[in-house]
Structure 1
């Protein structure tokens, strides 16, 4: 996790404008939720260090440096703790000097540096030529002032970009190149050659300001090594089907050409032109899939047939089993294809892979991990290779990102602000919500309470009101204070972030029974089990298992609601069975008017957090349960179920 947080800091240092959570999530191959957690940790680490992370809804995150001196001292401590300097090596001396000049606030005297590094004047003069050469692409120069020494000069934007590159990436060369020894054995290359190729990839992407995630960088690295082996063995390289002219006019093609030519000098072998194009595709990354002129079919034409067939089979299986709605996500198709081409070679050559994020992925993104398992099963069946859970974790990252992207495609919530204190207070709520939620919320207007009947309910998803609304409305109501508190904002955020479509997959209309007349818990449970037995293929002893759970502790939680269920998952699918009652019944001493039979799929790894969150909200709010119980038809029931009060 620390490497990820360091990468976020690196990216924010380099940017003079906000960077969205989605952009950071794509860079690191994690979800937006993980980025939000990492940002909180980073902001905490920067406390009292002269900087903080500013979060602006709709724009993203910005590193704000309030005290340049304190922040530079922090970076000095950061780099000192992260590096071990060996002044016998020229590259280490050059790196140290670049760090010193980037972090120095005053001029540095040559004699002081000589004493500090214990080197000769001729050595440091030679090193300084290398320093100037490496800083030139960043438009930074070393200015010499007689009797003062040397000081770095350039725009603040250029200095910050250089800081982000030199303080972080060079350290990460050793950390992220995890397959060097295995690749050396497989490809018949020396570790020194592989190190040189990795370094040139880092340098080329830094110099041309191309951002690749660690996974994407490793994939490109493995591809080059395997391509070298295949060329040496006389195998024809897979051709891409698209017109190469579409790639050659891209800036990334020039960078790919530079990488290939330098690689040829290192390995003394000629790469075919198609390899330049394929490396350019790696470098283009999400830029290609974000191009509105690129259809899904266009994306597929870039990919070799064998890789595309496996990718399509994976996505079809995931959609058939989990119905995630991501089968036609262009970025997922592109990302999986690029990931699988080198990954399949790793499988075939028995290269082990370690996923440092595996436990975090399993714990926080079980649904994406379940989809990753399905992808692994397809790969094993299609390729006759063994896929372990480390690789499943990497596949889950791509899938999880697609799940997050799907959530972002939902239209903004449309609402009206209702307030009894006058237009001024309603406007105050309006601008506060717009500032907090940006493009996620569309506020059509404000209204006084007495004009409720004039609101355009057919256009609304939500009412935000600073006064209690006693009359039933056709849309949910979120009740807030005139001066919004943090709790008020969270109530609105809960409504906005709730994926109702995700919840509706667990609620079938023919499993919802409204305004029933039962007199007891036993009568209600018998009715529900009988009604759902055939639909859910319930086992014969299902009712017995529910009573076994009731014997341990009654499932009536107060506030007129009971959530009965067996001790263990028993059904073939996760569904709710729901009964609302005209009059409350006694349930182990509690009054109950809404009964939700929770049927969870046996041996399931489904992500049920949203479902449990919804049930939790009901349990906590008696008034909410009463409204659900009063619904007279299914549509009204769903509206009441999803409202937040």
Structure 2
């Protein structure tokens, strides 16, 4: 019984109105899913002369003749699920069918299965090709036979793992965080339908492997591993085996997980009555090595590196040194950062060496929250590329950004504050309480009267917050005794670095501002940026390639209208900021359109000068009104002044 049939039967069996929450609980899914399904069910009800009644706050019922209700039940029993799938659901179902069948599928056959026209199936195939193109797969029509998926077996498995078991716009973390949904039709049935295997049995085998390995996988890695092992079983049953090079197999022979991988393969053979090849067993070993782990009792501060990591140690130290230079921080003595990166990068490099990928559901949030850190890391992952011949994808760059963000927080010294008040103890304590509640980076050194200001100098305090003006060399903020919101905002600008004191050379030149340029594509825009810089001898001939290399790492769109492409330091001869506004929006990453390009062209020596720029850009990137106003400007001086006030603030 499918979910739509379950919902209809449940409503029909109720004698009165029934709420969405009650339906969701009864069929083990979410209220949102029920509401979405009801939207798809409604046209089917109309076809059967039935009406769905929705009364806010009361519930739902289906009204009509008993004979029509019976006809509806018969409809669900005789018609296949496919007849009322949404287009996105149908496309994923077709994709699953293409993977499941070891033969070409005729378009006419698919049309009959899904109750749609030939032209609809043809359109679906175009959408499927968009879905799988990043895996270097393609659906092609073979004359006289039908459509098939073409590509490497390893690529097919990656696509299967990422696309087939999940609902559209839901990723692995959705199921990780919703145990109820994970055990319901939404995931389990899709897993069962697409792979025709018992999820629980595979899960038990992975749990046995964890026990033997002596460590636990993270929840995300465990589900990933279950899916990949299930795919290996199913593809083996279909006669599709993975291929690994002899050099790789030789290297894997010496891994400590080797014996457990072969024991796991033997267990799979026993449970699923299949014979995994030796190559498939090595593939399982790869997944063991690449999975993120949770090490019980591990203290990263006291973690001792094994003897096989000296190359990685040196590389990570160089990596930290490069990133800290751009961030204007000193992090190379942070043992916790160093050891955390070792723990993170060893399995990461294993994954990337063997072509295994890991989803990062927090990617967009991380990139938005830590733009300068993300950019600095993206600029320096070439170290790992050069050493290990791997490409560090955007998802992994975002994971690394979290480690550096944590290190930055650890290394930010609290601001030492002296609170001075002329109104007595009660008022001063109220001020202190408000400050502590609003800011976690303040250290209240003392609360005293204005008469004692001479007792404190720059070596003892960083900031004075006072209800009256005082004479001191230390920066002082004068506030109202009740600390109203406008005073809180003033304090926030100082203690949270909204206005950054900088000896920055960063500035906006009219020569680098290009207004209302008529460009039609990302390629045209990048060529335009490069040609302009080359003509002024600001970059080398390698700059355009470095722009495209950065685009390949991940999205450079930071809001609904701004892109921030940038090239490698090594290709820059002189620093500047390029600004381009466009006549018409241009597609950049996927469906994201941009109206403005901000290109920070920086040498390595000048990198720290642009920290204020990126900090303020992160603060203001969602201010749609501001950017619409800037994008509409026709005067370079006006744009330079407005943008300078927003992005290049100094206190």
| Fold shared per TM-score above 0.5 | no
Q: What TM-score bracket applies, with the shorter chain setting the length?
A: 0.3 to 0.5
TM-score, structure 1 as length reference: 0.40
TM-score, structure 2 as length reference: 0.40
